[in-house]
Amino acid sequence: MPKPILQYTVDAFTHRVFQGNPAAVCVLDDWLDDATLLNIAKENNLSETAFVVPKNATSQSDFDLRWFTPTTEIDLCGHATLATAFALTQALATPPDTFYFHTRQAGVLTVQKQDDLFLMDFPAYPLTPVADVAKIGEVLGVTPKVAYLGRDLLCVFDDENWVKNFVPNDEKIAQLDGLLCHITAPSGEFDCTSRSFAPKVGISEDPVCGSGHCHIFPYWAKALGKASLIGYQASPRSGILQGKISGNRVVLGGKAVLFAKSEIYL
């Protein structure tokens, strides 16, 4: 029988199970073919399954990393990167304080562990203003105050209660520009409240979206005139993210908790 694949299921951007964003992390010795990677992600049926392979035999800090939704590979994922760093602290006998994840499209992502917090150095997406916000309003039911397009569509509203109570229509949201759609508003308790939707990649609502905050935090940093922020993701699972803007980079901070450790047999 082939050696089983070790898999961790981790709730990211939270310190409690059943909250935050669950990701599966498969710790591989070598890469499997893409069809098998996608089938594993389909079988898990989570917003992301991460696959991690040692970059070389001599380093416990450098890894190749890829992320798959149940329908496709994605270019950048925050919560599954956090989950991967957390999983490796469980899997390695002497885990380092800093991981270097080599990715296909996002370059090298550095994740530093400080006590129970993981700090991830990510690229900030450039934001281009959207001229026709009325068209977005026709889809969402309320016209955003402003909207921006990076990799994803960012829609800004004044009322955080509207963001919290919004009922998404996947078919309509899939008609909008951008890979994902994020709705956000100022928050009474945090710096911002947001939700993230990704029907184009097989996810109705992403419970806590790290890459989405590579759009959300840069906007609010400029709007609020502050470099360090705390964001609340108002999905039914909920989650809290820390952010710090440094030039064209975003340092995303969050906690994680182990839900399950399992083995995959192929």
Q: Is 229 in a helix, a strand, or coil?
A: strand
Computed over every residue of the chain, the mean pLDDT equals 97
Both 170 and 240 in one domain: the answer is yes
Judge if 164 and 193 occupy the same domain: yes
Statement to judge: residues 145 and 94 lie in one domain: no
Do 40 and 114 lie in a common domain? yes
Label residue 56 by pLDDT band (50, 70, 90).
confident
- 171 in catalytic set: no
Tell me the C-alpha distance between 99 and 3, whole Å. 25
Residue 29 DSSP class: S
Same domain, 84 and 49: yes
Domain with 243, as residue range(s), is 128-247
Whole-angstrom Cα distance, residue 55 to residue 155? 38
User: For residue 98, what pLDDT band results from cuts at 50, 70 and 90?
Assistant: very high
Distant-in-sequence, close-in-space partners of 117: CB < 8 Å, separation ≥ 6: 242, 253, 254, 255
pLDDT-derived band at 213, boundaries 50, 70, 90: very high
One domain, residues 60 and 136: no
pTM (predicted TM-score): 0.96
Q: Are residues 109 and 151 in the same domain?
A: no
Q: How many domains does the chain have?
A: 2
What span, in angstroms and rounded, lies between the C-alpha atoms of 138 and 143? 7
Secondary structure (H, E, C), 110-135: EEEEECCEEEEEEECCCCEECCCHHH
In a shared domain, residues 84 and 41: yes
Active-site hit among 43, 48, 138, 171: 48
**Do 106 and 91 share a structural domain?**
yes
Q: Are residues 166 and 242 in the same domain?
A: yes
Neighbours of 245 (CB within 10 A): 18
Co-location of 26 and 52 in the same domain: yes
CATH of the domain at 60: 3.10.310.10
- Contact between 195 and 235 (Cβ < 8 Å): yes
Q: Distance between CA atoms of 123 and 129, rounded to whole angstroms?
A: 19
Q: Is the domain of 61 the same as that of 31?
A: yes
